[in-house]
Amino acid sequence: MADTQTLRQWLLTETPTSRRHAKLSAIYQGWLSFRSNTMAMIGLVILLLLLFVAIAAPLIAPHDPFAQDLGNRLAPLGTDGHIFGTDSLGRDILSRLIYGARITLYIVALVALIAPIAGLLMGTIAGYVGGWTDTVLMRITDIFLAFPRLVLALAFVAALGAGIENAVLAISLTAWPPYARIARAETLTIRSSDYISAIKLQGAGPLRIITKHIWPLCISSLIVRVTLDMAGIILAAAGLGFLGLGAQPPSPEWGAMISEGRRFILDHWWVATVPGLAIFTVSLAFNLLGDGLRDILDPKASE
Amino acid sequence: MSMLQINGLNVWFGKNQNRVDAVRQAKFTVAKGESFGLVGESGSGKSTVLRAITGLAPNWSGTMDIDGQSLTRTRPKSFFKTVQMVFQDPYASLHPRHSVDQVLGETLYLHGFSDIDARVVKLLDDVGLGQKFRFRYPHQLSGGQRQRVAIARALAPEPRLLLLDEPTSALDVSVQAEILNLLADLRADRGLTYLMVSHDLSVVGHMCDRLAVMNNGEIVEILDVDALRAMKASHPYSQHLLEASL
């Protein structure tokens, strides 16, 4: 026990002895402040659980998610062997939920990788360089913003072909403009500040200024925005699936499950409600996590 | 031999109808090792002169010579090794997400030094900050400590001309004195040339050998500090400024 005590002291020291020590210490203090945020911890635990479920799906799912049993269709909650009941083809809803976690995480991860990074690039370059570059990049952004999101995504999917990857790509293509706007607005306030002038006086070029000085300040607001958008992204994927352009049946995608259950929503409410609750829980977890992350990513707020 | 020679300098912002002439026909010379003050009220164009020298105000005409070399539109890297600037507001001039170590380390890296660790340690000692401040972030420092970091950053490339843009106006009085003494000591140790902008005549009287009085973008008079102390200004505006400072 004495050993861990000294490790803790080493991590919490006021006077780090090396760059690595200072970095580890900052990470540990960030973790401490994150841990003291109960809501953010709840979000993190839910998402870690989701990750675990997605990885271990074949081990924990009680049934094959594709196995149909028409004799036992639309079984209610709590039926023997089917805790969450069965859907219109007699497939076990719990197993489908568990396998669906993989698809949900896949969508979220891909969109979270593509859209904010594209938006960050466009926005910071437009904001920092200014002039003609700004005008051209922002008018392109305006064109994307002028279309209704789902309609534009529909057009993309129709052109690229139906499927979950193309749905993700289409959602990303329609999701980046708001990030570009946020990043540009932040860049405009940052670029005229004294600390940017100061690094210019050290001979730093635009690439270094954008990546090392402007990005770190834009990223926290983008992360918050991304986590808040996650719910919408999951639902947009579901909407595309509903229209037959996203996840294809029999894929156990949560949104597709809802649209399947929609037909029986009055008589067999659980078929649509259970995947709906899953989407709700995961979206909430992302929002809570985003709030907590913002707190630790901003050292001024964690004083 | 002069360190800085400025002749017929005009600086403006905006164009056509929106054009504002911030500095008109400025002319002064700063000798090597001298400390030269620029005084005037807010908006008189004194900070703009510094920004024009460093290239932060891109629209200018006239001639500016640093150590006998004329400045062109773009500043070469060697310029930043000769001329450095300390900004007015220490709360705005340090990146909020960079620790002191990152600020100084990056500056040294950009100027091509290899012994960065040793130099960061030495710079912090030179400006009177101990090693315990090395990994702090700006929000963990007081205003005076931040300004010391900013001074350390300006000293990192070992410049010969230091431009000081009201380096103490954002600080309270006791900290002001500390920073001014630090600047005076550094100048004596390193043989630096200072060009200092201030609206505080007592600060300029303490720090400078000569000063130029600016009003509405023009230099109305260049005085010795002795003449300042004796209140012997010849231009009516400078007389007015001296009286107002009493």
Angstrom distance (rounded) from CA A43 to CA A281: 9
The whole-number average pLDDT for the span A274-297 is: 83
Q: Which CATH number covers residue A53?
A: 1.10.3720.10
Angstrom distance (rounded) from CA A107 to CA A104: 5
The neighbour count for residue A148, using CB atoms within 10 Å, is: 9
Cβ contacts of B166 within 8 Å, gap of 6 or more: B47, B88, B197, B198, B199
Angstrom distance (rounded) from CA A174 to CA A149: 6
Residues of chain B with C-beta less than 8 angstroms from the C-beta of A201? 54, 56, 80, 84-85
Report whether A253 contacts A164 (CB < 8 A).
yes
Report whether B193 contacts B33 (CB < 8 A).
yes
Report the SS3 class of residue B163: strand
Looking at residue B130, the DSSP 8-state letter turns out to be -
Angstrom distance (rounded) from CA B204 to CA B182: 15
* In chain A, % of residues over pLDDT 70: 95
Residue A7 inside a domain? The answer is no
Lowest mean pLDDT among A19-23, A36-40, A53-57, B83-87: A19-23
Six token digits for residue A183: 């990043």
pLDDT tier at A184, thresholds 50, 70, 90: very high
Six token digits for residue A270: 């659980």
Give the pairing type, strands B193-198 and B161-165.
parallel
A203: left (phi over 0), alpha (psi -120 to 50) or beta: left
Per-residue pLDDT tens over the stretch A125-156: 999 998 899 999 999 999 988 888 778 888 88
- A189 CA to chain B: closest CA distance, Å? 12
- A298 CA to chain B: closest CA distance, Å? 8
Which residue shows structure tokens 């500095």? B23
Angstrom distance (rounded) from CA B173 to CA B169: 9
Q: Do B96 and A197 touch (CB under 8 A)?
A: no
* In chain B, % of residues over pLDDT 70: 100
The whole-number average pLDDT for the span A37-43 is: 88
User: In whole angstroms, how far apart are CA A110 and each of A164, A235, A279?
Assistant: 11, 15, 17
Residues of chain B with C-beta less than 8 angstroms from the C-beta of A28? none
pLDDT tier at A246, thresholds 50, 70, 90: confident
Residues of chain A with C-beta less than 8 angstroms from the C-beta of B94? 195, 198
Q: Which CATH number covers residue B92?
A: 3.40.50.300
Q: Considering chain B, what is the average pLDDT of its residues? A: 89
Lowest mean pLDDT among A53-67, A70-84, B7-21, B223-237: A70-84
Q: Name the closest residue on chain B to residue A14, using Cα atoms.
A: B132
Report whether A214 contacts A188 (CB < 8 A).
no
Q: Residue count of chain B, please give it.
A: 246
> B95 touching A, CB under 8 A?
yes
Determine the structural domain holding residue A287 and report its residue range: 21-64+87-297
Q: Do A22 and B99 touch (CB under 8 A)?
A: yes
Six token digits for residue A13: 């020291």
pLDDT tier at B49, thresholds 50, 70, 90: very high
- A147 CA to chain B: closest CA distance, Å? 36
Q: Do A299 and B56 touch (CB under 8 A)?
A: no
Report whether B219 contacts B36 (CB < 8 A).
no
Most confident of A28-32, A161-165, A233-237, B214-218: B214-218
Residue A72 inside a domain? The answer is no
> B59 touching A, CB under 8 A?
no
Q: How many domains does chain A have?
A: 1
Q: Do A202 and B96 touch (CB under 8 A)?
A: no
Determine the structural domain holding residue B113 and report its residue range: 2-245
Report the SS3 class of residue B172: coil
Task: Show the 3-state SS of A42-111.
Answer: HHHHHHHHHHHHHHCHHHHCCCCCCCCCHHHCCCCCCECCECCCECCCCCEHHHHHHHHHHHHHHHHHHH
Report whether B200 contacts B242 (CB < 8 A).
no
By Cβ distance, the residue of A14, A201, A212 closest to B80 is: A201
Q: Do A300 and B139 touch (CB under 8 A)?
A: yes
Q: Considering chain A, what is the average pLDDT of its residues? A: 84
B246 CB-contact burial (10 Å; exposed 0-12 / middle 13-18 / buried 19+): exposed
Q: Do A198 and B85 touch (CB under 8 A)?
A: yes
Angstrom distance (rounded) from CA B131 to CA B125: 8
Residue A191 inside a domain? The answer is yes
> B139 touching A, CB under 8 A?
yes
The neighbour count for residue A108, using CB atoms within 10 Å, is: 22
Residues of chain B with C-beta less than 8 angstroms from the C-beta of A15? 131-132, 135
Tell me: cis bond preceding A250? Omega within 30 of 0 counts: yes
Per-residue pLDDT tens over the stretch A90-119: 888 899 999 988 888 888 888 888 999 999
* Interfacial residues of A (vs B; Cβ cutoff 8 Å): 14-16, 19, 21-22, 25, 193-195, 197-204, 212-213, 216-217, 299-300, 303
Residues of chain A with C-beta less than 8 angstroms from the C-beta of B55? 200
Per-residue pLDDT tens over the stretch A272-285: 888 888 888 888 88
Task: Show the 3-state SS of chain A.
Answer: CHHHHHHHHHHCCCCCCCHHHHHHHHHHHHHHHHHCCHHHHHHHHHHHHHHHHHHCHHHHCCCCCCCCCHHHCCCCCCECCECCCECCCCCEHHHHHHHHHHHHHHHHHHHHHHHHHHHHHHHHHHHHHCHHHHHHHHHHHHHHHHCCHHHHHHHHHHHHCCCHHHHHHHHHHHHHHHHHHHHHHHHHHHHCCHHHHHHHCCCCCHHHHHHHHHHHHHHHHHHHHHHHHHHHHHHHHHHHHHCCCCCCCCCCCHHHHHHHHHHHCCCCCHHHHHHHHHHHHHHHHHHHHHHHHHHHHCCCCCC
- In single-letter form, the type of residue at position A106 comes to Y
Q: At residue A188, does pLDDT exceed 70?
A: yes
- In single-letter form, the type of residue at position B175 comes to V
B174: left (phi over 0), alpha (psi -120 to 50) or beta: alpha
- A41 CA to chain B: closest CA distance, Å? 24
ipTM score = 0.86
Per-residue pLDDT, B30: 92
Residues of chain A with C-beta less than 8 angstroms from the C-beta of B161? none
- In single-letter form, the type of residue at position A98 comes to I
Per-residue pLDDT, A303: 42
> B158 touching A, CB under 8 A?
no
Per-residue pLDDT tens over the stretch A59-74: 888 888 887 878 778 8
By Cβ distance, the residue of B93, B99, B110 closest to A194 is: B93
Residue A6 inside a domain? The answer is no
By Cβ distance, the residue of B87, B110, B134 closest to A194 is: B87
Contacts across the A-B interface (CB distance below 8 Å): 71
Q: How many domains does chain B have?
A: 1
Per-residue pLDDT, A1: 46
- A193 CA to chain B: closest CA distance, Å? 7
Report the DSSP beta bridge partners of residue B29: B5
